Structures are given as C-alpha cells and as structure tokens.
Chains A and B, each alone.
Chain A
Amino acid sequence: MNIRKTLKGLYALWFREFRVFTREKSRIISSVCLPLFWYFIFGNGVGSAMPSGAGNYQHFIFPGFLAMTIIFTGLFAGAYIVWDKKVDFLKEVLITPLSRTTVFFGKAMGSMTDALIQSYFLLFIGILLGIPFTPASIFLSMLMLFVFANGLISLGLIIGSFMESPEGYGLISSFVIYPLFLLSGALYPLDNLPGWMKFLTRLDPATYAVDGLRAVILGTSALSFTSNLLIVLGFDVLMAAVGTWAFKRMKL
C-alpha cells in the first residue's frame, strides 16, 4: 500500500518535469546546442594550434563534452526547483502526504530524464561525427552518464533547496558549474598540472566521469573505467544522502 503510494507520487513528480521539459523548447535547444558550439568552435580553434591537429583534439575533448551536458543540464535541472518555489508549485507538492524523500527522488527522476535525453542525443551525434564508438563503449558511456547525472542532479537539488530566488542562478554558473567543468580535465590532460591544481581536479567528481568516459571511448585514461564508475557512484550516494536531508529541512 505504502509502496504504491510512493510509486504514484514518483510517477506524478516525474510526469510533471517531463511535460514541462517537452513544452519548454528553448531549454532543450540551448542545452543541446551549447556543447556543440564548444565542440566545433573551441575544438577546432584550440585543436588547430596543437601539434597533433584539430581532429585528434576534438576526439580528445568529446568525452568531456558529454560530461559537460550533464554538468550544465543536470545541475540546472536540479536547481530549477527554485523556480518551483517562486511560482509556488512547490507548496502544492509539499502539502501533499508524500514524504520529503519521495519528493526528492521524484524531482531527481524528472531532471534525470531531461539530462539523459540530451546527453544521449549528443552521444548519437558523436557516432555520426566519427568518434570511434563500439556497441560496448556506447553502453558503458551511457551507464557512466546515467550514474554521473544522478549525482549532479542531486547536487543541483541541494543547491536549489537552499536558494531563495532564481536570481542566484548566476552564482551557480560561476562557482559550481564552471569550476566543475574546467577542473574536470574535459579540455586538457591532467598529467602535467601544477600540484595545487592537480589536487583540485581530484576533488572534482566530473574528473572521474570524464576519465571513465575516455577510458571506454578512447582507451586512454588515468584510472580504469570500473574505478572511475565506483568513485562516481560513491559521489551519488553521498549526494542522495545530503539531498534527502536538505529536502527535509527545506522551508518555503
């Protein structure tokens, strides 16, 4: 009985996020196009200055751009909950008999769909662009993106639950999204970095997602795919725990 109640609640919360996602076309378009711009413009620009040539560099950064979609769309989708606060839809959800834990996971599932549709779409474009995918590496990449998205969306939800108005979005970009992205090694190899920066990259969960993706897509990585996946999974568990706590204490 209780399980059925929870499942219905999760479905309702997911359905709402999904409907809003499909009806807000501008969000989909911008979040798919942004990584593509980076990939083509930045990839060609910097790549042409590399001794190995633009093509190789673009291959090198492709896994980074898959992770980038998750960082941008996942975090924002999670933090989108401040918008719910603003339009008061959150009140309607919080006054139902659903537990805060259910609300947290329902929201996470909804944002998950957004982030995965977009990153899987980019992965598909990667295949068309001639990134050397195999069926196994496609599957493992999708798995890594799924696991990574979980943690990032939870992080977004946590930030969103503390924020009081959408005006704080700028802060999220500056202090969360860009550091996560730039320190992840998406754009450059981490081997020859100065010590302090190396240390920071090791704290960044995106580093392990990018490294894991590179392991299966390009076959070069610092850690094995499995180690990377486990580290990102650990990050997920931590974020889910903090997230449910944050939702329980969230006020309107």
Chain B
Amino acid sequence: MESIKTRELKKIYGEIKAVDGIDLSVNEGEIFGLLGPNGAGKTTTLMMLSTLLKPTSGTALVNGFDVVNSPDRVRESIGMVFQDPSSDTLLSGYENLKLHALMYNLPLKEINKKIEKVLELVDLQKRKHDIVKKYSGGMRRRLEIARGLLHEPKIFFLDEPTLGLDPQTRQHIWEYIRALAAKIKMTIIVTTHYMEEAEKLCNRIAIIDHGRIVALDSPKNLVRATGGDIVSLKGCKLNLSELEKLAFVKGIKTVDGKFLIAVENAGKNLQEILRIAGEVEFVEVHSPDLNDVFLYYTGREMREEGDEVGFMTDVTRAT
C-alpha cells in the first residue's frame, strides 16, 4: 500500500508558486527524502501533507485519507517533528509528552509506560523532569522526536531534523532515526538539505527545486544518472560543441562560469577531452555525490542554511 500519494499538489501565494504541481508516491515502510535548497517548497509540502496548510489545488492522500476531506483521520495517522522547536519551554520534558499523549487520546493506563519507552529511545530518561528551557538544542530535538513517536504513527514526518545543530549532534540524531526505522515499522518522510545525510539514510530521494520535483530515484541511481564522473572545466574559448559530440560525454551544464561535463570513465577519457576543449584554465575530476546530482538537475549549487536567511534579516533590519 502507498503511504502517501499526491497528484498535481500545488500551493500558490499570489504570484509565488511555493509548490508547483508535485506528484509523489511513497511506499509503506520507506524512508523517503525530500531534498532541496531553502524555499524550494519542502516545508510547504509537508505542511500540506500534515493538514496544517490547505493545498491551492491537487490532491494528497496520506495513509489512504484525503488531506482536505478527512484531515482528522490524516492527523491520527501521522507524527511530526517540526523544523523549529515546538515544545513548551516552561514545561518539563515529561509534561510535554504527557500533554501530547492526552491530546492523542492514548489510554490513561498506558501513558506512563509509553512515555518511558520513547524516552528510552532518545536517551532522555534522566532529564525528563527538567523544564525544557534547560535542555540543549539536540536534547530538545530528541524530545520532539520522542513526542512525535509517542502515539505510534504510521507515517513520521521529520522537517529538517538536524537544522541548526552542531555536526556531532547531527550525527547522533541521524543515528536515532536510523535505529528507529530499523526497530519500528513505519514510513519516514524527511526533508533535508544535507546531501550526505540523505544519501546515507533514504531509500529514495526526490529533489525539489522551485516547487517542482526535478528528479526522483534511489540515491545510487540518481548519482548514476549524472553519467559516471564529473569533469569541471574553466576557460574562455572552450570548444563545447565538439565536446558534446563525443560518445562518452553525457551532458554539459554551465554553473557559475564553470562547465560541468558528465563523462563516462573520466580516468581514461580526460586526455581526449582536454585535447578537444582547447585552452583550459582549470580542471577538476571527481565522482559525483548528491550535491552534483542537485547541481546537475537544477544548474545551481545548494546554499548552506543561514547565509541567505541571515543576509535577508540584516537587510530587513537595516531598512
């Protein structure tokens, strides 16, 4: 059975197409990644799938229920960890979990047992009676993962679960998620813009840019689709049209003044490429990872979180 199925899902704000026609189909038990830069439409998609936003058009079925017609049934089926922390800082970790259990109508007798179980999963038993204000960023995220799991959802959404955490904590969070996926049978949908994380964790990945899916496959196949190796060239008078005719060249893209050439077996064919290309200022060969896949499909680098946002806030403050 499909856990999630969307058809032509759209969210349009005036002129801005936040999500511009997404067709997705996620199988039960799958770990599915939504990858894309800031503002690509990942969070908006999750918000629609979790019924917090109404789609402008299109349909979405979550656990077989329509997000517009039966939002209550959808909400019963899902758990969610939001991008920004959403626990109450004046309550203790235990109290936050207890509230959640009550709101999800868990049987009163089982609540304590279930809370202990999820606390154990994320290693927070010892700090459960501290108020959340005293937690570190990583602990708070873990608490919210535990909270999302408390009512044993069929589908678990994680929106940038490692955003704003230091590398070590990020590593830990992913270990928890991986262990969870192994222990509990459920579908996990995770958004991220950390390539290496998505590559390691997900069964399949959809790359989203400007509200559309530009590629969807297993990480391995996505990488393979770029055509083997990537040769980056820089130069003013490169003979690109001749290069394109070569049998082992799978495609050429321009990114930031560099030419990215997808090449089969670059180790063997590099000499030929350089001979035909003409005068080259810079050359680099590497095997592709998801970052290249992203570049390949969207023609631009994915920016690190923070740069753009920080700049924008500064501008707003200055004006």
Q: Does B175 contact A (CB under 8 A)?
A: no
Interface size class of B (residues with CB under 8 A): 20 to 34
Q: Does B221 contact A (CB under 8 A)?
A: no
Q: Is the CB of B86 within 8 A of A97?
A: no
Q: Is the CB of A16 within 8 A of B99?
A: yes
Q: Is the CB of B102 within 8 A of A87?
A: no
Could you say which residues of chain B place their CB within 8 Å of the CB of A173?
A: none
Q: Which of B51, B72, B89 contacts A87 (CB 8 A)?
A: B89
Q: Is the CB of B86 within 8 A of A89?
A: yes
Q: Which of A4, A19, A89, A97 contacts B75 (CB 8 A)?
A: A97
Q: Which of B53, B86, B90, B102 contacts A92 (CB 8 A)?
A: B86
Distance, CA A95 to CA B159, complexed state (A):
14
Q: Is the CB of B87 within 8 A of A89?
A: yes
Nearest B-chain residue to A90, judged by Cβ: B86
Q: Is the CB of B87 within 8 A of A99?
A: no
Distance, CA A11 to CA B101, complexed state (A):
11
- Chain A nearest CB from B137 CB (Å) reads 14
Could you say which residues of chain A place their CB within 8 Å of the CB of B90?
A: 19-20, 23-24
Q: Is the CB of B52 within 8 A of A87?
A: no
Q: Does A202 contact B (CB under 8 A)?
A: no
Q: Does A190 contact B (CB under 8 A)?
A: no
Nearest B-chain residue to A11, judged by Cβ: B102
Q: Is the CB of B102 within 8 A of A9?
A: yes
Q: Which of B52, B76, B98, B100 contacts A91 (CB 8 A)?
A: B52
Given A20-B91, A23-B90, A252-B52, does the pair A95, B80 have CB atoms closer than 8 Å?
A: yes
Q: Which of A4, A5, A16, A97 contacts B88 (CB 8 A)?
A: A16
Q: Is the CB of A95 within 8 A of B75?
A: yes
Given A16-B99, A20-B88, A89-B86, does the pair A95, B51 have CB atoms closer than 8 Å?
A: yes
Distance, CA A13 to CA B104, complexed state (A):
12
Could you say which residues of chain B place their CB within 8 Å of the CB of A97?
A: 72, 75-76, 103-105
Q: Does A198 contact B (CB under 8 A)?
A: no
- Mask for B35-59, Cβ within 8 A of A = 1, else 0? 0000000000001001111000000
A11-B102, A88-B84, A95-B50 given. 17 additional CB < 8 A pairs? A4-B105, A5-B105, A12-B102, A16-B95, A19-B90, A23-B90, A24-B90, A87-B85, A88-B85, A88-B86, A89-B87, A91-B82, A91-B86, A92-B82, A94-B52, A96-B100, A99-B72
A binding-site residues for B, Cβ under 8 Å:
4-5, 8-9, 11-13, 15-16, 19-20, 23-24, 87-89, 91-99, 251-252
B binding-site residues for A, Cβ under 8 Å:
47, 50-53, 72, 75-76, 78, 80, 82, 84-91, 95, 98-100, 102-105, 131, 147
10 A-B pairs closest in CB distance: A12-B102, A88-B86, A96-B103, A5-B105, A92-B86, A8-B102, A97-B76, A97-B75, A12-B99, A23-B90
